[in-house]
Amino acid sequence: MAHRRLGRLAYGSRYDNVPWGQRVYVRPGERLIRETQWQWLIRRSPVVSLEEYQRMRPLGEIEEFLSCMMCGESRQQPLFQPTGGSGKGWRYHVTRCPACGFLYRNPNVRPERLGDLYATGYSNFLTGKYAANRQRRYDLTMKAFSPVFDEGKERRLLDFGSGVGLFLELAEQRGFDACGVDLSPESVAQANERLRRARTYFGAPEDVPEISAGGFDVITLWSVLAHLPRPLEDFRTFRSLLGPGGVLLVLTVNARSLLLKAYGSTWSGFTKNHLMFYSSTTVRTLLARTGFAGVAFAPHYGDTIEAGTTALRPDLTRRLRRNVELSDGGNMMRMLAFADEEAIGRWSGPLTIHRLNP
Ligand SMILES: [Zn+2]
């Protein structure tokens, strides 16, 4: 609670009505303070060999130790220990790759035991109040990458990790020829009840003939990237499933978020089932290594700001927007990856394209 007392000292009660998630972006000078804190943390946290690290950490039954999946570096810089839940709860360790800056859970979950994380009750989590917020977030993100999602026009869309079908419902309403895959059988069953034309399937894309045939125009990963234990393999699959001119849309938590720099282990992006945490830099490595030609990012200002329902004063809203842009995009990272030059030519529009060299 030391940061609350310091905040009181520096800013008085002027920002008490501003929600926590927005405060770090609107209090004068706070962005620079948090960036400096982060630099200190990186400079003073020790870097250890993987062998040394393995001696420091217990290994759970469903876990394995990893080296950096983005660059292959094995050394570890232990940074965070997120915890949560009541009673027995959960806890894991997050390390930073000292070579490329990638943040990941280590030990991580063995891919074949991933099902254990989603065994029961996950589909309940995906419905209810959560559902309305999610659909609004889909809408705002599609708008940020207009015109890709404005009209489906029978284009083929795959939603990877489609859950209970909330996004597929929007996609079929917009005229996409849409389908999905998910690892939770109960979510797939619920989705297929909800949907009219779109269909979801249980399992991996390569196990479903309708999907493994490929030729997709759009693939979407809504809050899925941080859950992937083998991202390189999955992204190679996505690249091969996209047809010429195809695009991949990703929404995930942003590992460069000012909120992570401010709150550390208690950051909202460290949820129970998240495995890896990407920034606009590390995700470029992932895309380049798996054959994508380019990528564009859309800063995330927060759902209430983008929907125009915020109670924040206009001058503070302007300050928030500026600080989101200066601090690499806000608490969520939104990006559109382009399979090839044809995709860049067709869809880049007003977006700034970063070309990727393999
Ligand atoms: Zn690395």
The alpha carbon of 96 and the centre of ligand 1 are apart by a number of angstroms equal to: 8
Q: What pLDDT is recorded for position 124? A: 57
Q: For residue 145, which of 339, 29, 273, 300 has the smallest C-alpha distance?
A: 300
Calculate what percentage of the chain has a pLDDT beyond 70: 95
Confidence (pLDDT) at 182? 93
189, pLDDT greater than 60:
yes
Centre of ligand 1 to C-alpha 138, Å, is 30
CA of 52 to the centre of ligand 1 (A): 18
Distance 72 CA to ligand 1 centre (A): 6
Across 203-228, average pLDDT: 95
In the predicted structure, residue 123 carries a pLDDT above the cut 60 = no
How far out from the chain centre does Cα 127 lie?
A: 19
pLDDT exceeds 60 at position 120: no
The pLDDT tens digits of the residues spanning 237-264 come to 999 999 999 999 999 999 999 999 999 9
Model's pTM, two decimal places? 0.94
Say yes or no to pLDDT of 135 above 60.
Answer: yes
Separation of CA 22 and ligand 1 centre (Å) = 30
Domain ranges across the chain: 2-44, 50-109, 122-355
Between the CA of 33 and the centroid of ligand 1 the distance, in Å, is 26
How many whole angstroms from 306 Cα to the centroid of ligand 1? 33
End-to-end CA, the chain: 45
The mean-pLDDT minimum among 110-124, 259-273, 306-320 falls in 110-124
- 158: how many CB neighbours lie within 10 A of its CB? 28
Cα 99 from Cα 68, distance rounded (Å): 9
Compute, in angstroms, the gap from residue 229 CA to the centroid of ligand 1.
15
pLDDT confidence of residue 133: 82
Determine how many CB atoms are found less than 10 A away from the CB of residue 61: 7
Topology of the domain comprising 122-355: Rossmann fold (3.40.50)
Point out the least confidently predicted range of 20-29, 71-80, 217-226: 20-29
Kindly state the average pLDDT of the residues 45-71: 96
- Ligand 1 centroid, distance to 333 Cα (angstroms): 19
pLDDT mean over 200-212? 93
Which residues 6+ apart lie within 8 Å of 235 measured at CB? 286, 287, 289, 290, 292
2 — pLDDT class (breaks 50, 70, 90)? low
Looking at residue 128, its pLDDT comes to: 61
Ligand 1 ion: nearby residues, β-carbon < 5 Å: 68, 70-71, 73, 97, 99-100, 102
Say what the pLDDT of residue 87 is: 65
